[in-house]
Amino acid sequence: MSVLATSAVRSRVATAIGALSGWRQSRYAPPIFGMDTGGAGGRLHHSFSVEAQGCFASPAPVSQRQRLGDGVRVSTSIVVRFAHRLRADNQVSDYDSGLDAVETIITTVMGISQANLHIVLDRVQPPGIAPAGDYFLAELRFTAEHRLALQ
């Protein structure tokens, strides 16, 4: 397995989701996505963020050494957040559509090329509703296993 930077992992996930019809990556930094839904004028609908929340070295037997030229095997936590509009006159149906969007994101991320990368679904957080009641906010967590360069 060749080395793959954490930014490349995040970018691969964002590119896959961005290729879905009607979806676009938020221009805001991933940790603040969804904090301010007021006045978005519908621009938040089907926008998403992909955050790499850090990585840790995968456990290896003591007999294995970390060789600078080979890199180190790591697990990176990837968080995908997205918003789905809830119309005032049809919130239950739109909520169900938001749940369907969760499944679409899962299948899209799990379908990413496995070249130098292995992604597993970690968990789906319970969906939230924006304070104004106009957006379904979802958070999905994946673990990406890859090699990180040491030199």
User: Model pTM?
Assistant: 0.87
Give the pLDDT of residue 3: 83
Higher pLDDT, residue 35 or 41: 35
Mean pLDDT of the chain: 86
CB 81 within 8 A of CB 137: yes
Give the pLDDT of residue 1: 60
**From 16-25, 51-60, 131-140, the region with the lowest mean pLDDT:** 51-60
Give the pLDDT of residue 31: 87
pLDDT confidence bin for 45, thresholds 50/70/90: confident
Measuring CA to CA, which residue among 40, 7, 38, 44 is closest to residue 24?
44
Length of the chain: 151
Angle at 11 between CA 128 and CA 38, to 5 degrees: 35
Neighbours of 96 (CB within 10 A): 12
